Amino acid sequence: MSDRDMMPGDGRPRGGAGLSRRRVLQGGLAALPALLGARILAGEGPAGAGTTARAAEPPTPPAHDPTAHDWAFVMDTTTCIGCGRCVEACKLENDVPAEPETNRTWVELHVLGRDGSVAVTSPDGGIGSFPAGEAAIPAEAVANAYFVPRTCMQCENPPCTWVCPVSATYVTPDGVVLVDEGRCIGCGYCLEACPYGARYMVPAGEQTPKGTAGVVDKCTFCYHRISRGKLPACAEVCPVNARIFGDRNDPASAVSVALTERRVRAMKPSLGTRPRVFYTGLEGEVE
């Protein structure tokens, strides 16, 4: 038996081994810059590249422990007056495009007729309030009417994160569903999956607050504000405290008190999405 016979593994592609190894090494060396570039583009580009307007100030993120909070919202339809200040504040705070159909938050008027009919209107998302004297149902036939502030439910079991083919949308430990705008490919699956219509595609010519175009944007609970101890902009400007925001880990917070003392319900609870946004005074038939 010769050496070659004794060592079949080593000698197998005897003639081509050197060439193959060289090719492999060359390929690897060529791939490394590509990998680095891909990492810069995908992982680190958006955070660092902050292409436009809103540079972070201070440049480092605020000291914020995402595991220490359990954010939740209670929307009080019994006090909401439908003024739409929240919608305007959200657009100003978060660079939400001015188009009336692109909203991170909006207000709906739900009019329930005595005959069981339901009319839901939201002209321009409710920004600048609702027109007077324009009732979808005659006043004498109205059983109930109230305003419903809408936003992303920040589901604990969100369908949008399931369907994202590139895992660009995710849930933070404190319970906010965010979009990694550097990874989002703008396919719009999450828009279809969301049972609450809470997401929008950034229109052509517009950008997210981070200066990204062609991606999906959504309510972040004003993540930059709540991680600094501030209220979301919509809750900050609400003139009747219809938007009660807070930390469920703090039993003294307004939202904990509201969840304990008020009768609340989630929207579309049968879907099992486990929303973090709750409603008082909401009637199930208008979902």
Amino acid residing at 150:
R
Among 22, 23, 39, 114, binds other proteins (CB under 8 A): 39
Q: Is 114 exposed, middle or buried (0-12, 13-18, 19+ CB in 10 A)?
A: exposed
Scan residues 221-260 and list those touching other proteins (CB under 8 A): 222-225, 227-228, 230-231, 233, 236-241
* Spatial contact of 248 and 278, defined as CB atoms under 8 Å apart: no
- Rg (Cα) of the chain, in Å, rounded? 26
Among 19, 36, 141, 185, binds other proteins (CB under 8 A): 36
* Spatial contact of 215 and 208, defined as CB atoms under 8 Å apart: yes
Least separation in angstroms between residue 172's CB and other proteins is 5
Scan residues 185-204 and list those touching other proteins (CB under 8 A): none
Question: Which window, 42-50, 188-196, 250-258, 262-270, contacts other proteins (CB under 8 A)?
Answer: 42-50
The β-bridge partners of 229 are: none
Question: Which window, 4-12, 152-160, 186-194, 252-260, contacts other proteins (CB under 8 A)?
Answer: 4-12
Q: Examine residue 10 and tell whether it contacts other proteins (CB under 8 A).
A: yes
Q: Examine residue 15 and tell whether it contacts other proteins (CB under 8 A).
A: no
Amino acid residing at 37:
G
Q: Examine residue 92 and tell whether it contacts other proteins (CB under 8 A).
A: yes
Q: Examine residue 276 and tell whether it contacts other proteins (CB under 8 A).
A: no
Q: Examine residue 138 and tell whether it contacts other proteins (CB under 8 A).
A: no
Scan residues 149-168 and list those touching other proteins (CB under 8 A): 161, 167-168
Among 43, 188, 251, 284, binds other proteins (CB under 8 A): 43
Q: Examine residue 89 and tell whether it contacts other proteins (CB under 8 A).
A: yes
Among 3, 65, 140, 261, binds other proteins (CB under 8 A): 3
Scan residues 60-79 and list those touching other proteins (CB under 8 A): 60-62, 64, 66, 78-79
- Single out the residue of 258, 251, 276 nearest to residue 266, CA to CA: 276
Q: Enter the DSSP assignment of 189.
A: H
DSSP string, 29-75: HHHHHHHHHHHIIIIIHHHHH--SS---SSSSPP---GGG--EEEEE
Q: Examine residue 52 and tell whether it contacts other proteins (CB under 8 A).
A: no
Strands 105-113 and 118-121: antiparallel
* H or E stretch at 169: strand 169-171
Least separation in angstroms between residue 275's CB and other proteins is 19
- Provide the Cα torsion 279, 284, 286, 287; round to 10°: 70
Scan residues 107-136 and list those touching other proteins (CB under 8 A): 109-111, 128-133, 135
- Nearest residue (CB) to other proteins, 66 versus 197: 66
Q: Examine residue 19 and tell whether it contacts other proteins (CB under 8 A).
A: no
Least separation in angstroms between residue 36's CB and other proteins is 6
Q: Which residues, in sequence order, are CB contacts of 134 under 8 Å at separation 6+? A: none
- Single out the residue of 72, 107, 74 nearest to residue 89, CA to CA: 107
Q: Helix or strand or coil: residue 167?
A: coil
* Spatial contact of 112 and 285, defined as CB atoms under 8 Å apart: yes
Least separation in angstroms between residue 150's CB and other proteins is 14
Alpha-carbon gap, residue 268 to 287, rounded angstroms: 7
Question: Which window, 170-178, 185-193, 198-206, 257-265, contacts other proteins (CB under 8 A)?
Answer: 170-178
